[in-house]
């Protein structure tokens, strides 16, 4: 099929598909082969020969001019069909954000002024097709390749600009559609912009195909980016190597020169040269394999893969490995395979089953077939992210895909299912339809983060995933978005460092939460129809948020639900933060008012931080029938509504489905607290959780007395649902951490012990059968150990010693608690034994638990040694550094040691982790529990001199968290201690 590209509202067909050569010869030391290869690649398209008489030429010229005029008229008055907008005019940037201004000082590698001044590529260059031949050498770690890029321009130009990073370009060859070679008069590379500038002697003319041939060299990295090396140890204790790619967001340019922006989609024809002991995978199925050992090196084969569909560069992928696989088919016949090291392939069955069912669910839910013939999922030993959605070749960290039914906990199995569903959602949202630029990242990640829960909830209903959605998505997003250093869902970003900084809870979790809220407004059927329209209308294209809003509006109008989605949702995506809804009652009249949530350090009078308003879909339930939801719109600053006299109480934001918090007047808080204490099941589990979440958060920012959430907590003695308990324990854990060296800590611990004792006695250590009951048991046992309950510590220590002596296996759902308790209350020999078991384990989920447990040691020497292990990749893989540092930082003795370690090893961590954005979570782990002005001054002083690149937002968020901690202690610590002493036996 011919490929096409869209430019200036014109569709230009790929004219060269029949004339391109089948391969691009690899550069080798064999001169005869080089010559033969050069002859084969002498032209990328066969010359087109034509002749005509002068009269014919005049006629043709007249026809061309008339046709051009007619086409221009058509273009001027044409309107798109379906639900695409005719043109997207970018909204103004949120106040406080500014576009990066072009620098006039970009230099080439030779020290000259670089001719192009923009970090973005020119808009007039459009790639059509890449033919890439690449050899990742697993012995020498060299990367060699050559390629041809067929492209066209939409305006006359004499230069081309594309991306390249850490590659050595050996040769360029530019030809036009007739095969005529065009002279490249000069070339420049700018390291800072990661760009190559090629200037031609003559002009390139609009809407003609050109092919740029490039030969290049590079290296396999160890940074978990671009094309990198990974390794594992097999059953014979031999180290085996593999090559893996990770290109999101801007690392495709580190593998091959390319137009590395998401809207510059093209087709890819990929060939991989590898040793016969390995095999290669790529986005598309294998087309053929040929022996190239005679020309290159003995034992080498070349795999040719089918041409891809139109796609973005960041989704291109390949793997060279010696893994094993298992395969299944979807109901429509799409081949689904899971690849893993041979010794671990038995752990792939759960993932294969989930992936196959999720694919069927998505095809039915979206009403759009998966467009590729196969889907591979690969377990990668070294992987920086949790997973990556490369089209047709999804890569995963081992712990995010491998499950041993006898060894993997319920929580870990749920995590695997969620990650798989997330990446498969991207096959539609992100891959088939792609955001136009990274400022719309949420169109990828927000959708996948929402749909992952719907998919798993559908295929495994008894897991109650939509109840857990508010725990993992809504509450975590609200916690970040309350900071004055947050950012809008759609935020301007330019260079790669800025792009990486928005892969956070705003793009993922807030994006998911506002979609969940919107689905509640429209209804699932209208929402589904909007999704289908959006995918069908924009498949293989790039979009902005407005495209989606219009599709939903059309679906709503077709169902007689006249909701102008854009008007509503722009208020949620174009400005940071969220509303705080104030509720008061005057007999029958309920007053509803909104203000911007009052982050502690946001100045409402600052013109850069306006007191914004939102279009808020307010939901609520009442005492008359707590199962029936009511809805109203808050379109301005306030609205009133009337309730019957018989309504005793009402709870706003039903099931925490809206992305806002609620502040009730004192009498209404008292009513809701009374309901929790006397008859908590009158409210749903999600409503109970949201009340606790709102109350604790409102206390933290200083507008609700701490006595309100503390009194609410007393009802937990009767609570047996996972979601409210998980919410409460998250807030209580925060209080324990910042009170770790304070006088109120003892009162708080005593209070928590009294709360959890009834449920601890009921659940105990007996194995549970229900999924959500297992999750609750793990929460309660973990909390019991952390607050020093002697029976819990004794039982966990006993089980640890039995495990250490290899006498009794531990249930997977109890292991994390047992391991961490054994280390915390054990000695050096316990630590060393556990470390040895970590080295020997072949179960990814088990290794992750052991990594976390080893950070629980109380001995400062053991803690320091463990932190130093992270600087040695032979001990701790770079992907696991964050896990280690975070586990150590959660210990009282480990917190300050972690900060000291980060300071002393800042530059090393930057190099290991690949930059400030990768170690952002490390900085957060080391500082988020600080709560004194002295600590704040120390962190500020360090980072005033440290290289943080474009990571200022991450740093500012860490500093704001410390200030928030200090604020809470000054305002509420004494009140908390006094209330507990007055209202309990503590």
Angle CA(980)–CA(727)–CA(484) in degrees, nearest 5? 95
Mean pLDDT of 684-706: 97
Lowest mean pLDDT across 70-79, 584-593, 597-606, 628-637? 70-79
Short-list 470, 376, 925, CA closest to 661: 470
Tell me what pLDDT residue 495 has: 81
Q: Could you give the CA distance from residue 852 to residue 865 in angstroms, rounded to a whole number?
A: 15
Q: Is residue 948 very low, low, confident or very high in pLDDT (cuts 50, 70, 90)?
A: confident
Name the band, by pLDDT with cuts 50, 70 and 90, for residue 38: very low
Run of H or E residues at 445: helix 442-459
User: Quick check: 439 pLDDT over 80?
Assistant: yes
Angle subtended at Cα 389 by Cα 251 and Cα 161, rounded to the nearest 5 degrees: 30
Confidence at residue 65, expressed as pLDDT on a 0 to 100 scale: 53
pLDDT at 82 over 70: no
Give 83 or 355, the one with higher predicted confidence: 355
Separation between Cα atoms, residue 223 and residue 192, nearest integer Å? 19
Q: What are the distances in angstroms from CA 135 to CA 109, 324, 655, 665?
A: 26, 22, 53, 68
When pLDDT is cut at 50, 70 and 90, the band that residue 809 belongs to is confident
Residue 59's pLDDT is 53
Q: Which residues of 49-83 are buried (b: 16+ CB within 10 A; e: fewer)?
A: eeeeeeeeeeeeeeeeeeeeeeeeeeeeeeeeeeb
**Alpha carbons 21 and 35: distance in angstroms, whole number:** 15
Region of poorest pLDDT, from 27-36, 120-129, 371-380, 918-927: 27-36
ω into 249 cis (within 30 of 0): yes
The answer, yes or no, to whether residue 481 has pLDDT greater than 90, is yes
The per-residue DSSP string of 900-963 comes to: HHHHHTHHHHHHHHTSTTTSHHHHHHHHTT--SHHHHHHHHHHHTTS--TTTHHHHHHHHHHHH
Whether pLDDT at 732 is above 70: yes
State the average pLDDT over residues 451-475. 96
Q: Token digits for 820?
A: 């961490």
Tell me the mean pLDDT in the region 707-734. 97
How far apart are the C-alpha atoms of 14 and 208, rounded to whole Å?
Answer: 10
Rounded CA separation 105/117 (Å): 8
Distances (CA, A) of 503 to 511, 512, 957: 11, 13, 14
**Res 22: pLDDT:** 38
Angstrom distance (rounded) from CA 57 to CA 72: 22
What confidence category does residue 297 fall into, taking pLDDT thresholds of 50, 70 and 90? confident
Instruction: Show the tokens assigned to 947.
Output: 């290289």
Residue 808: predicted pLDDT = 80
Burial class (CB in 10 A: 0-12, 13-18, 19+), 478: buried
First to last CA, the chain: 75
The answer, yes or no, to whether residue 154 has pLDDT greater than 50, is yes
Look at residue 896 and give its three-state secondary structure: helix
Closest CA to 511 of 543, 482, 476, 483: 476
Confidence tier at 13 by pLDDT (50, 70, 90): very low
**CA dihedral over 316, 347, 509, 501, signed as positive or negative:** negative
- Banded model confidence at residue 53, pLDDT cuts 50, 70, 90: low
Q: What is the pLDDT of residue 515?
A: 98
Tell me the average pLDDT of the chain: 88
Q: Does residue 964 carry a pLDDT above 70?
A: yes
Residue 728 reports pLDDT greater than 70: yes
- Tell me which of 30-44, 182-196, 600-614 is least confident: 30-44
**pLDDT tens digits along 824-836:** 999 999 999 999 9
The pLDDT value recorded for residue 34 is 43
Residues 515-520, mean pLDDT to the nearest whole number: 97
Side-by-side strand order, sheet with 157-163:
157-163, 195-204, 184-190
Which pLDDT score is estimated for 915?
53
Task: Give CA separation, 224 vs 22, 227, 254, 397, in Å.
Answer: 32, 8, 12, 11
Q: Where is 324: in which H helix or E strand?
A: strand 324-329
pLDDT tier at 968, thresholds 50, 70, 90: very high
- Using the predicted structure, report yes or no on whether residue 892 has a pLDDT greater than 80: yes
The tokens for 168 are: 């050595």
What residues does 396 pair with on adjacent strands?
379, 387
pLDDT in tens, 235-280: 899 999 999 999 999 999 999 999 999 999 999 999 999 999 999 9
423 part of the active site: yes
Decide if 444 contacts 270 (C-beta within 8 A): no
What is the arrangement of strands in the sheet containing 239-246, beginning at the earlier edge strand? 226-233, 239-246, 318-321, 279-282
- Name the least confident of 49-63, 85-99, 486-500, 577-591: 85-99
Annotated catalytic residue, options 248, 423, 550, 816: 423
- Residues whose CB falls within 8 Å of the CB of residue 918, separated by 6 or more in sequence, listed in order: 384, 500
* Distance from chain centroid for Cα 60: 54
Give 946-966 as a DSSP string: S--TTTHHHHHHHHHHHHHHH
- pTM: predicted TM-score of the whole model, two decimal places: 0.89
Chain segment 157-169, per-residue pLDDT in tens: 999 999 999 999 9
Angle at 615 between CA 610 and CA 620, to 5 degrees: 120
382 in Cβ contact with 399 (< 8 Å): no
The pLDDT of residue 16 is 41
pLDDT of residue 299: 86
Give the confidence band of 7 by pLDDT, cuts at 50, 70, 90. very low
Q: Pick the closest to residue 103 from 492, 493, 498, 495 (CA basis).
A: 495
CB 174, CB 226: distance < 8 Å: no
C-alpha angle 679/680/686, rounded to 5°? 155
| Percent of the chain topping pLDDT 70 | 87
Distance CA 980, CA 713 (A): 11
Task: Give me the mean pLDDT over the 86-100 stretch.
Answer: 35
Using alpha carbons only, what angle is made at residue 341 by residues 338 and 344, rounded to the nearest 5 degrees? 80
Residues composing the chain: 986
Comparing CA positions, the residue from 438, 439, 434 lying closest to residue 93 is 439
Provide the pLDDT confidence category of residue 49 given band limits of 50, 70 and 90: very low
86 has pLDDT over 80: no
Give 916's pLDDT tier (boundaries 50, 70, 90). Answer: low
Q: Looking at the predicted structure, is the pLDDT value of residue 101 above 70?
A: no
Cα separations in angstroms, 841 against 301, 344, 458: 34, 11, 33
pLDDT above 60: residue 52: no
What does the pLDDT average to over 716-741? 95
510 has pLDDT over 90: yes
Domains of the chain: 1-48+104-322 (2.60.40.1730), 323-405 (3.30.2010.30), 442-573 (1.10.390.10)
pLDDT at position 610: 54
DSSP letter assigned to residue 456: H
CA distances from 347 to 338, 341, 366, 817 (A): 10, 10, 30, 23
Half-sphere exposure of 435 (CA within 13 A, CB side): 18
User: What integer pLDDT is reported at residue 952 of this predicted model?
Assistant: 79
| pLDDT score of 500 | 86
């Amino acid at each position: 099929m011919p490929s096409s590209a869209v430019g200036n509202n014109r569709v230009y067909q790929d004219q060269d598909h029949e004339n391109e050569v089948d391969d691009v010869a690899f550069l080798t030391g064999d001169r005869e082969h080089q010559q033969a290869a050069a002859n084969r690649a002498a032209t990328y398209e066969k010359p087109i020969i034509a002749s005509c008489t002068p009269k014919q030429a005049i006629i043709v010229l007249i026809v061309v001019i008339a046709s051009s005029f007619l086409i221009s008229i058509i273009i001027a008055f044409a309107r798109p069909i379906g639900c695409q907008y005719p043109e997207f005019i970018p909204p103004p940037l949120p106040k406080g954000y500014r576009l990066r201004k072009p620098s006039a000082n970009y230099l080439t590698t030779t020290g000259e002024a670089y001719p192009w001044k923009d970090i973005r590529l020119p808009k007039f260059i459009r790639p059509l097709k890449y033919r890439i031949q690449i050899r990742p050498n697993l012995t020498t770690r060299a990367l060699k390749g050559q390629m041809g890029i067929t492209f066209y321009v939409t305006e006359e130009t004499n230069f081309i600009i594309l991306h390249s990073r850490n590659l050595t370009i050996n040769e360029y060859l530019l030809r036009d559609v007739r095969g005529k070679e065009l002279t490249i008069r000069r070339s420049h590379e700018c390291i800072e912009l990661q760009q190559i500038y090629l200037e031609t002697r003559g002009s390139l003319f609009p809407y003609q195909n050109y092919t740029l041939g490039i030969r290049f060299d590079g290296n396999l990295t160890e940074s978990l980016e671009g094309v990198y090396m990974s390794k594992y140890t097999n059953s014979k204790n031999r180290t085996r190597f593999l090559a893996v790619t990770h290109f999101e967001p801007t690392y495709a340019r580190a593998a091959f020169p390319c137009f590395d922006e998401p809207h510059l989609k093209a087709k890819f024809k990929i060939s991989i040269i590898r040793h016969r002991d390995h095999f290669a995978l790529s986005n598309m199925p294998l087309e053929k394999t040929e022996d190239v050992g005679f020309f290159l090196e003995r034992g080498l084969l070349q795999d040719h893969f089918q041409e891809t569909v139109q796609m973005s560069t960041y989704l291109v992928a390949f793997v060279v490995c010696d893994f094993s696989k298992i395969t299944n088919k979807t109901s429509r016949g799409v081949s689904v395979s899971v690849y893993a090291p041979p010794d671990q392939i038995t752990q792939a069955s759960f993932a294969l089953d989930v992936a196959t069912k999720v694919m069927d669910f998505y095809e039915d839910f979206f009403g759009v077939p998966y467009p590729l013939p196969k889907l591979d999922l690969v377990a990668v030993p070294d992987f920086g992210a949790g997973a990556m959605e490369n089209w047709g070749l999804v890569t995963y960290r081992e712990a995010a895909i491998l499950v041993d039914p006898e060894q993997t906990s319920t929580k870990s199995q749920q995590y695997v299912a969620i990650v798989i569903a997330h990446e498969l959602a991207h096959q539609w949202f992100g891959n088939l339809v792609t955001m136009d630029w990274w400022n719309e990242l949420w169109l990828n990640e927000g959708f996948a983060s929402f749909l992952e829960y719907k998919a798993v909830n559908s295929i495994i209903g008894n897991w109650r995933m939509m109840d857990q959605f508010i725990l993992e998505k809504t509450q975590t997003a609200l916690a970040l978005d309350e900071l004055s250093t947050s950012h809008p869902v759609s935020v301007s970003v330019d260079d790669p460092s800025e792009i990486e900084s928005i892969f956070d809870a705003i793009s993922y979790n807030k994006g998911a939460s506002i979609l969940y809220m919107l689905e509640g407004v429209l209804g699932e059927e209208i929402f589904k129809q909007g999704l289908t329209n959006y995918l069908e209308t924009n498949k293989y294209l790039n979009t902005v948020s407005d495209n989606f809003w219009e599709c939903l509006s059309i679906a709503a109008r077709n169902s007689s639900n006249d909701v102008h989605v854009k008007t509503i949702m722009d208020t949620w995506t174009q400005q940071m933060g969220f509303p705080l809804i104030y509720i008061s009652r005057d007999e029958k009249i309920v007053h509803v008012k909104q203000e911007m949530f009052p982050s502690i350090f946001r100045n409402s009078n600052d013109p850069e931080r306006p007191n914004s308003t939102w279009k808020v879909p307010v939901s609520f339930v009442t005492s008359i029938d707590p199962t029936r939801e009511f809805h109203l719109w808050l379109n301005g600053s306030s609205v009133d509504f009337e309730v019957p006299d018989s309504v005793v109480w009402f709870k706003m934001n039903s099931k925490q489905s809206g992305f806002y918090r609620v502040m009730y007047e004192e009498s209404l808080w008292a009513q809701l607290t009374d309901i929790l204490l006397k008859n908590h099941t009158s409210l749903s589990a999600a409503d109970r959780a949201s009340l606790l979440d709102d109350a604790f958060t409102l206390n933290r920012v200083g507008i609700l007395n701490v006595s309100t959430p503390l009194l609410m907590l007393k009802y937990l003695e009767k609570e047996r649902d996972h979601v409210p308990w998980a919410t409460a324990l998250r807030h209580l854990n925060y209080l324990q951490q910042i009170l770790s060296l304070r006088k109120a800590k003892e009162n708080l611990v005593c209070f928590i012990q009294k709360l959890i004792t009834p449920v601890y006695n009921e659940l105990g250590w007996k194995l549970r059968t229900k999924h959500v009951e297992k999750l609750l048991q793990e929460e309660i046992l973990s909390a019991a150990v952390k607050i020093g309950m002697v029976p819990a510590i004794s039982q966990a220590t006993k089980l640890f010693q039995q495990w250490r002596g290899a006498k009794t296996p531990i249930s997977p759902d109890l292991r994390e608690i047992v391991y961490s308790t054994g280390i915390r209350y054990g000695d050096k020999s316990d630590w060393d034994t556990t470390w040895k078991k970590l080295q020997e384990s072949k179960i990814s989920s088990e290794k992750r638990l052991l990594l976390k447990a080893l950070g629980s040691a109380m001995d400062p020497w053991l803690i320091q040694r463990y932190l130093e292990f992270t600087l040695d990749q032979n001990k701790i893989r770079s992907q696991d550094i964050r896990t280690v540092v975070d586990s150590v930082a959660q210990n009282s003795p480990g917190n300050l040691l972690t900060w000291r370690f980060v300071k002393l090893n800042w530059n090393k961590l930057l190099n290991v982790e690949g930059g400030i954005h990768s170690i952002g979570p490390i900085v957060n782990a080391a500082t988020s529990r600080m709560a004194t002005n002295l600590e704040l001054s120390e962190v500020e002083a360090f980072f005033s001199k440290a290289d943080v690149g474009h990571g200022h937002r991450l740093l500012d968020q860490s500093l704001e968290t410390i200030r928030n901690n200090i604020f809470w202690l000054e305002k509420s610590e004494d009140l908390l201690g006094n209330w507990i002493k007055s209202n309990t036996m503590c």
